[in-house]
Structure 1
């Protein structure tokens, strides 16, 4: 594979046990976690555009008009999760509420969590000191689904990520909540009338709070719900009937070129055409993700030789089947 000579100092780690303090190179745009620019006048880069076809965007718009969850399927790396952030950014919906589903996930945790033990401990300490018992709202935090259903003038964006990794009953558990747009918090509904209004914590990263009246939360605007699935198992018909389905295909060569240009600049492939060719050849024989191509092009753009001792194989490794 032809490539330009690597930068002389691209190997930060030498493997010789000698302590060093090399300058860290610039991170890829998709791996920069809100780093503050060193120069006060430096501008924060604008978000990269999310590339989607008109037909796929029409399905998104239909879900928005119908106030229905959008069930997005496709291979890893096709942009399923990124779609939720693209919608939230373009519609100015604020922070995306993210619920990453795993085998231990339950709807209860996604709605709210009540720290009864913490409240009991705090109440005991306060009583011993002659103080006032702490408010229950300080020990009850809404989860991402619970926060998404808090009433507001604008809908919230909710990403339910990889639902097929959850328990087999989880999709059906979501049905009632998504149909009613509401749920109950029994710990609050049992409070006396004088404590009918309680401020609880939310899942927002800024430490937000929400008012809950008589233990009942009901949305005024149904949230923009994006549910992703890798197609690992089928969902119940009743659940599918209440969703709009969008299957994101693997991007073709032109779409890949557009994605690379959007993330790394229009000239990123000038000296990396061979990387794109290698990616397309390998993808034809096994599953690869688009971000693997971005990683390879980023390394080439930084002057690294992808011929170095199987480095390309490490970056463009197959995602399915035997390693």
Structure 2
């Protein structure tokens, strides 16, 4: 079991809970890896996801967003970027002079990329796995409304349902049920995020209007990996896959893109493969390969349902339990 140190900082008058996971005692430190969490997930769940990096000698630094776990305050989408910025500054002060890398998946890539755009000198390299540019990328407004007012029956056909049009939590729950069937959730919570620690109407407005990566470009060397079996990213169409690849090349000009044939959104059964890919990229100094087409694998693989992620209560990561750390699931 790695040594885990509790740390903290403050942002906007609220406390942020930080966890620092030291590398194994007999391993020479290769530097620190900044790991922003997911919405509804604790930072320690991401440590479980990327624990192979820790085994290879990297110190992992993660945290809980405001409104999550032991962090104070309320959750807002915009706060995730402010929270990551505050933790990054704390991290740079705590481990000044050491190599710093960044790794994240899905939503966690947004605050990481924003931090790397604001402080490019802070990072040696980044590794992003199945990143999204906004929450609408996985579920647009039309889809959210359809999931609520036109739910699918047992045969898969949509049927009109008479429902309260102002029930925002009901709409959110209907979409979460479809996208994340294995995640612990209800009308009142998603993962470790209790909706009493968020403002539903404001969060809805942020969802509809927020474009957090608009104009964001980072010159930090980066690796972007995603799988063709990732239904949440909607890459069934080759043209959609090409647009997705081009999107990240715009945000990260010094980016190597790897497309993997049989990897779903959760890297089901292959989580160590993600950590190894990140570690190998970091250890070659973030050198971006010149011949990218060779990293694109074919043929297209079968699609898995987006709820196949392993993990206790499947709270979007590997170290499960609503309090964050306690137990690592079999990843």
TM-score, normalisation: structure 1 = 0.24
Structure of greater Rg: 1
Higher relative contact order (Cα pairs below 8 Å, separated by 6+ residues): 1
